[in-house]
Amino acid sequence: MVFVPSAAERKQKYLNSLGNVPGAYKAGIERTTNWKDKALAGQNLYEQQMQNAAVLRRRAVALEKVSESDWKSRAATLGSTRIAEGMRNGAEKQAANYEPV
């Protein structure tokens, strides 16, 4: 039988790992090479899967699991704390690409 830690223990280990996550994430990004070529090489498969009814149904199933109030709560609490930093980080790109109509 495989040992599975309790939910409380898994949660604590998850929380304890948060300090390492940014560095590990960045290291993973730095190790990555040719990401665009690899992504483009998979374009046909992506298009194929976007026509697969089972794949499309997974999206609907996932959406059904989230209530309007849960979505609003998470969007308001998480999104509102992240949006300004994201906009700040994207200001140069926005300025370079924005053209009035």
Same domain, 62 and 46: yes
Write out pLDDT tens, residues 36-80: 999 999 999 999 999 999 999 999 999 999 999 999 999 999 988
Model confidence at 34: pLDDT above 90: yes
Range of the domain at 95: 67-100
Of 77, 75, 94, nearest to 86 by C-alpha is 94
Q: Is 24 within a domain?
A: no
pLDDT value, residue 20: 93
The token duo for 62 is 């996932």
Same domain, 72 and 95: yes
Q: Is 30 within a domain?
A: no
**By three-state DSSP, how is residue 5 classified?**
coil
Mean pLDDT over 2-13 rounds to 91
Write out pLDDT tens, residues 15-30: 999 899 989 999 999 9
pTM of the model: 0.53
**Which sign, positive or negative, has the C-alpha torsion 67, 70, 74, 77?**
positive
User: 100: pLDDT confidence band, cut at 50, 70 and 90?
Assistant: confident
Q: Is 79 within a domain?
A: yes
